[in-house]
Amino acid sequence: MSGKKSLGRFLTENAVVILFLLITIAAIPSSGLSIQYILQEMITRLGRNTFLVLALILPIYAGMGLNFGMTLGAMSGQLGLILAINFNVGGVEGLAFAALLGTPVSVLMGYICGSVLNKAKGREMVTGYMLAFFINGIYQLVILYMMGAIFPIRSPAILLSRGYGIRNTLNLEGVRQSLDNLLMLRLGGYALPLATFIVIAVLCAFVIWFKKTKLGQDMRAVGHDMTVAESAGVPVDRTRIIAIIISTVLACYGQIIFLQNMGNMATYNAHDQTSFFAVAAILVGGASVKKASIPNVFIGVILLHVLFVVTPRAGQNLFGSAMIGEYFRQFIGYGVIALSLVLYAWRARKDALRAREGLRRASIAAAPEGAAK
Amino acid sequence: MSEKKVDPKIAARRLLVRGGLVVAYVFLVGLFFVTGKGHTVLVDNKDAADGSAVGINGALVSIDGREALEQYPGDRDIVLLKGQRHRVRIQLPSGEPPIEMSLALPLNTDMLLLSIPKLVAKQAGYLEEFVQRDQPRPADEKVGDNNAFTSPDAPVTTPAP
């Protein structure tokens, strides 16, 4: 009975990962892609996306759920990149320049986001999601109307023909794959962007170290129970704001790493799906709204992207249209988030019922003793 | 809700650290700007406008040890450089020892014209700012009308007119 229960528990806890694994295993043979090709794609995509997904860990740790507000950080990174192109600063220096310019903006955005989320405790995810829409409006206003009109733009190549506003797509030629190519290791037919992986490893080390610090422990306490943390003297609101600021700044750097790998930037909508794909990846990796770890990030990025690589080809081979695969991966992006949230809510309800039942049993067991006294 | 009184020594130290951080930030921005600043250099082998220097037939021009550009009269090649200090090496077809010299590109200029005939003739003004006159403007673009939820890898599609 207990074995059955623990198996059931394992299955419900890892339902998303198992489901994904099954779909992926089924899709690989139909895609007709070689394992070597898929592996190389995974290496590239791990370098491209992992930093962004890692940015989600600390807010989860602080009990703020999945930070859909990371889009704000992505926008800050894009602003930094626009300025780097405008001033014609290229290479790794260009990336560092963009990151440095994006940092104060992302700190400000993180502060605003954290403050708003503190006013909406318990509804952080939907609030962050809506806030991203609001800030997106401001971003578009700045980029589309103010740049070139109020803020001087040196490079005419990035301006719209009317003389103000940034072009729809920017060519990031100056910084294209500059971090990836900084230390490119060729090993057995595979190209490993070592510098990008070093940056990711440093971030992983930072996350591990940060969790052990006083602030990290405060975040854990806040994430566990805000009331208890407050009673214990932990500045709850401040700690939550710091978690969101760190996440936003990391999202800013993550977006810069992502875009340098892509080599071009859709100025007005490159950030639209940033949070969706990061959230989908971490959920696919087995994380939940309340719990996430570094292995969840790596498993999630690999599983999600294997599926992204194989489904268009599988769709092409099975149904004669690559668009079915494209549709499938969009559908999966939303589906995974919905499934995880539903499973989380269902589990939380079940846990609460179980706890209540346990409490009732304990009180029944204690009642005769009390009566005897 | 009274404000905690901070020890003046700690407050001063905090101010110092914050000030130091701002200085470090500004320094780093400046450093990356200077070291990463890109320049487009047009390596030009056309005759000087006043006829004082004429294009060289078969000159090999190499900048920063890169692959040499083989130039003939009237040629103009484009070279993208990063940073301000560069080394140019010109090998003449006559078999004379190569001309080597350092180039200091002005930080504020994006596009420069390097005249090889003037440089070989040791004339002033071999490096000057290049301003594109009739710069073609990109075609008008519609923005903000692609609101589809697509993967970041999906190509950006422009809607049909």
Q: Which among A247, A309, A311 is positioned nearest to A278, based on CA atoms?
A: A247
Q: What angle do CA A99, A129, A136 make, to 5 degrees?
A: 55
Query: Using DSSP, how many helices (H) and how many strands (E) does chain B show?
Result: 2, 8
d(Cα A157, Cα A26) in Å, to the nearest integer?
A: 46
Whether the per-residue pLDDT at A295 is higher than 70: the answer is yes
Checking DSSP bridges between strand B85-91 and strand B59-63, what pairing results, if any? antiparallel
d(Cα A52, Cα A270) in Å, to the nearest integer?
A: 13
Distance between start and end Cα atoms, chain A: 37
Say what the pLDDT of residue A344 is: 80
Q: In chain A, what residues touch B28 (CB-CB under 8 Å)? A: 96, 100
Distance between start and end Cα atoms, chain B: 61
Cβ under 8 Å to A: B residues 49-108: 80, 82
User: Is residue A323 less than 8 Å (CB to CB) from chain B?
Assistant: no
d(Cα B151, Cα A326) in Å, to the nearest integer?
A: 8
8 A C-beta contact, residue A222 and residue A63: yes
User: Is residue B133 less than 8 Å (CB to CB) from chain A?
Assistant: no
Say what the pLDDT of residue B149 is: 44
A174 closest CB neighbour out of B33, B38, B135: B38
User: Is residue A142 less than 8 Å (CB to CB) from chain B?
Assistant: no
Provide the mean pLDDT of chain B.
82
For chain B, the helix, strand and coil percentages under 3-state DSSP, each to the nearest 5? 20, 25, 50
A168 closest CB neighbour out of B32, B36, B141: B141
pLDDT tens digits, A27-42? 889 888 999 999 999 9
Say what the pLDDT of residue B22 is: 96
- Given the structure tokens 């914050």, which residue do they identify? B18
d(Cα A333, Cα A324) in Å, to the nearest integer?
A: 14
Inter-axis angle of helices A236-262 and A91-118, nearest 10? 150
pLDDT tens digits, A345-364? 888 888 888 889 888 888 88
User: Is residue B139 less than 8 Å (CB to CB) from chain A?
Assistant: yes
ipTM of model: 0.85
Q: In chain B, what residues touch A326 (CB-CB under 8 Å)? A: 150-151, 154
Instruction: Round the CA-based radius of gyration of chain B to a whole number and report it.
Output: 26
Average pLDDT of A226-245? 95
Q: Which residues contact A122 (CB under 8 A, 6 or more apart)?
A: none
- Which residues of chain A form beta strands (DSSP E)? 169-171, 184-187, 190-193, 264-266
Say what the pLDDT of residue A300 is: 92
Average pLDDT of A138-166? 92
Cβ under 8 Å to B: A residues 331-350: 333-334
Q: In chain A, what residues touch B110 (CB-CB under 8 Å)? A: 88, 154-155
Whether the per-residue pLDDT at A372 is higher than 60: the answer is no
8 A C-beta contact, residue A107 and residue A250: no
| Closest chain A residue to the Cα of B135, Cα to Cα | A156
Q: What angle do CA A217, A250, A20 make, to 5 degrees?
A: 90
Residue A333, phi-psi category: left (phi > 0), alpha (psi -120 to 50), beta (remainder): alpha
Say what the pLDDT of residue B146 is: 46
Between chain A and chain B, how many beta carbons pairs sit less than 8 Å apart? 103
Give chain B's largest Cα–Cα span.
86
CB A268 to CB B144 under 8 A? yes
| Closest chain A residue to the Cα of B146, Cα to Cα | A269
Cβ burial, residue A40 (10 Å; 0-12/13-18/19+): middle
The one-letter amino acid at A253: Y
Average pLDDT of B90-113? 89
Task: Assign B113 a pLDDT band (cuts: 50, 70, 90).
Answer: very high
| Closest chain B residue to the Cα of A265, Cα to Cα | B156
A97 closest CB neighbour out of B32, B143, B158: B32
Indicate if the alpha-carbon torsion angle A66, A72, A75, A80 is positive or negative.
negative
- Given the structure tokens 């810069």, which residue do they identify? A256
pLDDT tens digits, A305-346? 998 888 888 888 888 877 777 777 777 777 877 888 888 888
Number of other residues whose CB lies within 10 A of the CB of residue A308: 22
8 A C-beta contact, residue B144 and residue A168: no
CB B156 to CB A156 under 8 A? no
CATH 2.60.40 is right for the domain spanning B38-129: yes
Q: Which among A228, A227, A222 is positioned nearest to A240, based on CA atoms?
A: A222
Where are chain B's structural domains? 38-129
User: Is residue A270 less than 8 Å (CB to CB) from chain B?
Assistant: yes
Whether the per-residue pLDDT at B3 is higher than 70: the answer is no
> What token pair was written down for B134?
């009739």
Q: Which among B104, B99, B132, B131 is positioned nearest to B118, based on CA atoms?
A: B99
User: Is residue B35 less than 8 Å (CB to CB) from chain A?
Assistant: yes
Helix runs in A119-235, H state only: 124-141, 194-212, 214-224, 226-231
Checking DSSP bridges between strand B111-115 and strand B38-44, what pairing results, if any? parallel
CATH 1.10.3470 is right for the domain spanning A2-372: yes
Helix (H, G, I), strand (E, B) or coil at A295: helix
> What token pair was written down for A73?
């950080």
Helix (H, G, I), strand (E, B) or coil at A184: strand
d(Cα A2, Cα A248) in Å, to the nearest integer?
A: 43
8 A C-beta contact, residue A141 and residue A55: no
Say what the pLDDT of residue B116 is: 92
pLDDT tens digits, A162-214? 889 999 999 999 999 999 999 999 988 899 999 999 999 999 999 999 999 99
Q: Which among A331, A327, A333 is positioned nearest to A314, based on CA atoms?
A: A327
Average pLDDT of A131-156? 93
Number of other residues whose CB lies within 10 A of the CB of residue A270: 23
CB A273 to CB B150 under 8 A? yes
Chain length of chain A: 373
Say what the pLDDT of residue A308 is: 86
Per-residue DSSP letters for A205-224? HHHHHHHHSHHHHHHHHHHH
Cβ burial, residue A343 (10 Å; 0-12/13-18/19+): middle
Whether the per-residue pLDDT at B152 is higher than 80: the answer is no
Number of other residues whose CB lies within 10 A of the CB of residue A283: 28
Number of other residues whose CB lies within 10 A of the CB of residue A199: 19
Q: In chain A, what residues touch B33 (CB-CB under 8 Å)? A: 87, 89, 93, 97
Indicate if the alpha-carbon torsion angle A31, A35, A41, A45 is positive or negative.
positive
8 A C-beta contact, residue A19 and residue A283: no
- Å between A228 CA and nearest CA of chain B: 20
